[in-house]
């Protein structure tokens, strides 16, 4: 009994890295955003009172007489402009959830909105949408903003956290994992009872339904291919329900699931379903998996190690570097205080130049100053890689250099991270006491 209690507590409450959950939140938020954007153009058709299922018919379909059994925020206000306002709130909350800004609050709003849309029109939602709904419910209880979030960046600015994201109590994440396993257990067991699944021909039918098929599937007319896909589906789903809990097999089982869902995404038109399922696997990953992935991804990305020389006596510069360090997922940047003479001289940058602007130095010793340094660094950070090419397109460089010059001249007046304000105040107090 004691052993059972210990294992129970270890499983649900022993702190783990917050990175996997943070990454899941980021990807999940993007999917929620896509779900909202896909529904947005036809919101009045699906959820409006002149649409396919007005409120009274929706309630009749749900089999309810009182709204309280289903969570439907739209039941109070059915007018179309309320629907537009509802979608605006939903999309903003989904964006905030993606960025990890006011994470808990945005998770609550996202959950309420998704649940409302499901209740308001249960007829148009598929299993992937349902997985999205239940995962959003779990996110409400999780510490999803502990890593990879603007909330964390703010905590870094305030000096409450440093380079390492905090560890979190994982009970909500464990519920997500169990939910994923339950989904696959339900799916696989119900297939085992079906004649077409047992005789190995079930996969043939959805692939040949013109309304649900997407791209033509090679080999879908060959019995052995159909057998392989049918039985392979059951095997992978059973694996995702059971073998996923065996640490040594976890990654292989997840890989099987990813391949299964990429196949579904290619051959069947079920919007976002496969991506939601694949995203849910992220809750099974560990911090070590992410570290290994980053190390593996570094090679093909051909990233460069840069040394960044900054003015260590400028609080605004140090604040900006906190954000850069936060975004430097691949740890490609090292930071050198221009006032640290030995370290600066090792980079070959002279003090006068370092006083004028931040300098980025690549391994060959090539120096990039000011806006050019910003542009060189942008290539190294995953969050800014996509905008990096735009930084070369006229007139952006010209504007960028002007903005940089303005910032340099006014940096004493620009806001700084609260941790430096506090430090400054403490130093002032010390000076006064002396």
Partner 1 sequence: MSSLDNPRDKVRQRRVDRLEKRWWVRKAVNLFIIWHLFCLAIWLLPYRSSSPSPIIEGSLGAVRPYMTFTGFAQSWNMFSPEPDKMDVTLEAEVTHANGHKDHWFFPRMARMSYPHRYQAERWRKLVENATHGSNPILWPPLARYAARVNNYDAQNPPVSVTLISHSRIIPPLGEPLPAYTAVPLQTGHGASVTPIRPEDLR
Q: Give CA–CA dist 35/74, Å, rounded.
A: 18
> What contacts 91, CB < 8 A, 6 or more positions away?
33, 36, 37, 40
Length of the chain: 434
- How far is C-alpha 281 from the chain's CA centre? 13
Q: Which is nearer to partner 1, 157 or 374 (CB)?
A: 157
Q: Which is nearer to partner 1, 187 or 228 (CB)?
A: 187
Which pair of tokens denotes residue 343? 């370290």
Q: Measured from the CB of residue 299, what is the shortest distance to partner 1 in angstroms?
A: 33
Q: Give CA–CA dist 54/47, Å, rounded.
A: 7
Q: Measured from the CB of residue 224, what is the shortest distance to partner 1 in angstroms?
A: 11
Q: Which is nearer to partner 1, 114 or 308 (CB)?
A: 114
Whether the CB-CB separation of 262 and 274 falls below 8 Å is answered with: yes
Query: How many other CB atoms are there within 10 angstroms of residue 215's CB atom?
Result: 10
Q: Which is nearer to partner 1, 23 or 202 (CB)?
A: 202
Helical H segments across 194-222, by residue range: 195-198, 204-207
Q: Which is nearer to partner 1, 99 or 114 (CB)?
A: 114
Q: Give CA–CA dist 53/171, Å, rounded.
A: 38
- Would strands 333-337 and 306-310 be described as parallel, antiparallel, or unpaired? parallel
Q: Measured from the CB of residue 113, what is the shortest distance to partner 1 in angstroms?
A: 11
Q: Measured from the CB of residue 122, what is the shortest distance to partner 1 in angstroms?
A: 9
- How far is C-alpha 402 from the chain's CA centre? 34
Q: Which is nearer to partner 1, 221 or 428 (CB)?
A: 221
Q: Measured from the CB of residue 55, what is the shortest distance to partner 1 in angstroms?
A: 10
Cα dihedral 337, 162, 20, 127 sign: negative
Q: Measured from the CB of residue 45, what is the shortest distance to partner 1 in angstroms?
A: 8
Q: Measured from the CB of residue 54, what is the shortest distance to partner 1 in angstroms?
A: 6
Q: Which is nearer to partner 1, 322 or 360 (CB)?
A: 322
Whether the CB-CB separation of 136 and 32 falls below 8 Å is answered with: yes
84 φ, ψ (degrees, to nearest 5): -65, -40
> What contacts 270, CB < 8 A, 6 or more positions away?
126, 128, 212, 264
Whether the CB-CB separation of 311 and 317 falls below 8 Å is answered with: yes
Q: Measured from the CB of residue 399, what is the shortest distance to partner 1 in angstroms?
A: 34
Q: Which is nearer to partner 1, 23 or 226 (CB)?
A: 226
């Amino acid at each position: 009994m004691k052993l059972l209690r210990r294992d129970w507590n270890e499983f649900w409450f022993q702190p783990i890295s917050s990175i996997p959950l943070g990454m899941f939140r980021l990807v999940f938020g993007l999917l929620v955003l896509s779900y909202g954007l896909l529904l947005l153009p036809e919101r009045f058709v699906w959820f409006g009172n002149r649409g396919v299922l007005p409120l009274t018919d929706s309630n009749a379909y749900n089999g309810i007489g009182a709204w309280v059994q289903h969570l439907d925020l739209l039941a109070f206000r059915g007018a179309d402009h309320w629907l537009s306002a509802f979608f605006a709130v939903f999309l903003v909350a989904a964006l905030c959830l993606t960025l990890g800004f006011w994470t808990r609050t945005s998770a609550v709003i996202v959950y309420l909105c998704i649940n409302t849309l499901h209740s308001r029109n249960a007829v148009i939602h598929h299993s992937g949408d349902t997985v999205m709904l239940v995962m959003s419910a779990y996110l409400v209880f999780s510490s999803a903003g502990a890593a990879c979030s603007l909330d964390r960046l703010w905590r870094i600015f305030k000096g409450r956290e440093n380079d390492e994201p905090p560890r979190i109590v994982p009970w909500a994440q464990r519920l997500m994992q169990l939910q994923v396993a339950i989904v696959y257990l339900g799916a696989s067991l119900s297939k085992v009872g079906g004649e077409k699944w047992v005789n190995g021909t079930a996969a043939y039918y959805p692939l040949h339904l013109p309304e649900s098929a997407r791209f033509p599937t090679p080999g879908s007319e060959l019995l052995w291919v159909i057998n392989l896909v049918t039985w392979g589906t059951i095997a992978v789903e059973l694996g995702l329900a059971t073998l996923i809990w065996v640490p040594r097999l976890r990654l292989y089982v997840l890989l099987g699931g990813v391949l299964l869902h990429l196949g579904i995404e290619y051959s069947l038109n079920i919007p976002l379903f496969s991506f939601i399922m694949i995203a849910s696997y992220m809750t099974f990953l560990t911090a070590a998996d992410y570290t290994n992935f980053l190390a593996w991804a570094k090679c093909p990305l051909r990233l460069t190690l840069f040394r960044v020389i900054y003015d260590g006596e400028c609080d605004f510069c140090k604040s900006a570097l906190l954000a850069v360090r936060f975004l430097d997922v691949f740890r490609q940047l090292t930071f050198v205080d221009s006032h640290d003479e030995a370290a600066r001289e090792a980079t070959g940058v002279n003090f006068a130049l370092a006083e004028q602007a931040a300098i980025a130095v690549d391994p060959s010793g090539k120096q990039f100053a000011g806006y050019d340094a910003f542009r060189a660094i942008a290539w190294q950070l995953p969050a800014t890689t996509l905008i990096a090419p735009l930084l070369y397109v006229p007139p952006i460089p010209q504007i960028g250099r002007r903005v940089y010059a303005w910032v340099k001249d006014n940096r004493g007046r620009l806001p700084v991270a609260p941790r430096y304000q506090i430090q400054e105040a403490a130093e002032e107090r010390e000076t006064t006491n002396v």
